């Protein structure tokens, strides 16, 4: 099952684009394509790719509070990501984090893991009827210390399933 539509030709010196990649999962079908992309662009396909999902905690709560519904949803997203990576015979390290701002949490994790690229799964959102990038992507593009790759699902059937 190849969700990643591009095929990289094998270079003679076996160098790929990056040595380490962090994939920020959003819980949509685009997660699978982003995970597959991560393994196609990393130097060693058997190395572990870092999967992360950030639970955003409002300022009115202590940062270490556990909100069960949000934690359960984030754990489910990470479990699905790990399962998909394992179905492709890849290793994945998944981590659930809490932060006041999702973008900041991703950047801190990328710095801690010393990754060369962040792959951000971009869900299809609209605001006032127009496509909206949200707050995380512009923040990452402005502040990231490494490469940022945006992965957006192009499956029109799934993207517009709410129209039915």
Q: What is the pLDDT of residues 94-109, one digit of tens each?
A: 999 999 999 999 999 9
- For residue 23, pLDDT beyond 50: yes
Per-residue pLDDT, averaged over 12-25, amounts to: 78
Determine the Cα angle at 15 with ends 106 and 18, to 5°: 5
Whole-number pLDDT of residue 153 = 72
Q: What is the pLDDT of residues 56-83, one digit of tens each?
A: 888 888 888 888 888 999 999 999 999 9
How sure is the predictor about 141, in pLDDT bands with cuts at 50, 70 and 90?
very high
* Contacts of 157 by beta carbon, 8 Å cutoff, 6+ apart: none
For 83-89, the CB contacts below 8 A with 24+ separation are 84/31, 84/32, 84/35, 85/35, 85/39, 85/49, 85/51, 87/1, 88/1, 88/35, 88/36, 88/39
| DSSP strand pairing (130-131 vs 126-127) | antiparallel
Question: Other C-beta atoms within 10 Å of 56: how many?
Answer: 16
Question: What CATH class has 21-154?
Answer: alpha beta
* Contacts of 105 by beta carbon, 8 Å cutoff, 6+ apart: 52, 54, 56, 97, 98, 99
Domain map of the chain by residue range? 21-154
Q: What is the pLDDT of residues 32-50, one digit of tens each?
A: 889 999 988 887 766 668 9
Rounded to two decimals, the pTM is 0.81
Whole-number pLDDT of residue 42 = 86
How sure is the predictor about 164, in pLDDT bands with cuts at 50, 70 and 90?
very low
């Amino acid at each position: 099952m190849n969700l990643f539509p591009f095929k990289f030709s094998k270079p003679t010196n076996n160098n790929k684009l990056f040595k380490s990649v962090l994939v920020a999962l959003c819980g949509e079908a685009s997660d699978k394509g982003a995970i597959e992309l991560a393994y196609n662009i990393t130097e060693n396909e058997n190395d572990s790719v870092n999967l992360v999902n950030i639970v955003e905690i409002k300022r009115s709560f202590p940062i270490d509070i556990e909100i069960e519904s949000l934690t359960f949803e984030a754990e489910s997203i990470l479990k699905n990501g790990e399962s998909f990576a394992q179905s492709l015979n890849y290793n994945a390290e998944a981590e659930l984090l809490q932060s006041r701002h999702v973008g900041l949490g991703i950047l801190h994790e990328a710095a801690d893991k010393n990754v060369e690229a962040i792959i951000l799964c971009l869900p299809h959102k609209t605001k006032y009827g127009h496509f909206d990038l949200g707050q995380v992507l512009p923040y990452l593009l402005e502040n990231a210390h490494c490469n940022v790759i945006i992965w957006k699902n192009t499956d029109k059937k799934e993207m517009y399933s709410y129209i039915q």
